[in-house]
Chain A
């Protein structure tokens, strides 16, 4: 039987092919870390990592993810020990209501990996861009209705050990 691995645990795929990964996690696995904001791929609150690549879990039909490995916010920490970016969000006061935070952190973790892999952004065609603008562009798929963006950028920047973009 086809299966999916989520945070190291293997699960059988749901019977109903309409089940999105987000609904599967919420309704079948009681994993509520990824949030349902818009449910249309616009807000980024449901962002998870699929084989290390960030995606909107609300737009993924689970049946398409056979043999894939998913990491959610619950899978980033090591027991009680927070992921460095989770700690950076606390240290930088990078959330207010907290609803977007799990998506922001998953996205930030992936963005740092993408920078290490030297993946381009659209600003790499703009000779006047700054590293902060590049990071904002990379994180634009995660909305924060409280407007905590400056602190979110500070948090992600504080744990970024990639090479200078510019």
Chain B
């Protein structure tokens, strides 16, 4: 790991005192960044340490929304969201990711900004446009089993690995930020990320001096929640394919639907085309299959990940079937399907 200076941030207005954001990184829990620094994939000159960012450790609950501080751990958020049916999709997704040790340390803001687990991004002996712009992409013609099929470009096919961000995309969460001038803004998480295009090293719309301070989620009835993750082993593995879904069915008609996919997109994938196709229609298997085809019309495999296209279709149809059957049987149901 290369030497670095430490700037301790205690409140968001301390950002104004940071002399330069070039070659700086915000450090929250460090479960991803510290690892990347060990590999020297990240080698910041300065760490802006958020461990003392005291305003950012709370979850606040108002009538309209829940606001989650950026330093709230994945464990704390999963526990909280488990108790709130309206947020339970988030709990199901968080608990499907990583291990307890990592979730105890990983944070809300950090989870959103974690980097891809593309093997070639991690292998510093191989070209990678995300790690070293302009060097090429070893994954496109390489072993690309865990790579994306949606939103890719000829320069990068890396997938976004987060389960939490996939659920937040389905729940239409809002990211709150602050920059060094004290300016704040609110960005829908669905608009936080950038497609790779020819600049895959630029992953979000955040400025270099812009800090995520919190994430908020509106309290809206969304019906039945399901997070379905498919992976190579049943615990502690990234998604090959995941589907986050909330669905309301009234008199057999899909009145409201939110869909996001994990493991398959260059970013947590908001399945907007499928949502629009499904909304207001009668819930049938045929409809679900067509919705999958609509969303997957732009999907592109790169060889070893071709299987993700039919796998995503089957997973989506399964989830939509399960959610609509549950809504038909329990029209007032809100939240995940709990086992106990």
Q: Which residues of B contact A (CB under 8 A)?
A: 1, 3-4, 6, 27, 30-31, 34-35, 38, 47, 49, 51, 75, 78-79, 82, 91-92, 95-96, 98-102, 104-105, 227, 234-236, 336-340
Contact = CB atoms under 8 A, between A and B. Distances in A.
B102 A41 contact: yes
Contacts of B6: 17, 63
Nearest 6 A/B pairs, CB to CB: A141-B99, A140-B235, A122-B95, A64-B51, A127-B339, A53-B104
Contacts of A140: 99, 235-236
Contacts of A151: none
A138 B339 contact: no
A63 B47 CA distance: 11
A54 B98 CA distance: 13
Nearest to A141: B99
A103 B338 CA distance: 31
A68 B266 CA distance: 37
A94 B185 CA distance: 53
A66 B1 CA distance: 21
Contacts of A66: 51
A136 interface: yes
B92 A122 contact: yes
B96 A122 contact: yes
A136 B235 contact: yes
Contacts of A109: none
A124 B82 contact: yes
A47 interface: yes
B338 A20 contact: no
24 contacts: A16-B3, A17-B47, A44-B99, A50-B104, A55-B104, A56-B101, A56-B105, A59-B31, A59-B102, A63-B6, A65-B51, A66-B51, A107-B100, A119-B75, A120-B78, A120-B79, A123-B339, A124-B82, A124-B95, A125-B92, A125-B339, A126-B339, A128-B339, A140-B236
Which of A44, A128, A141 is packed against the most chain B CB atoms within 10 Å? A141
B336 A141 contact: no
A111 B104 CA distance: 12
Contacts of B100: 54, 107, 110-111, 114, 138, 141
A13 to B, nearest CB: 11
A153 interface: no
Interface in A18-52: 18, 20, 39-41, 44, 47, 50
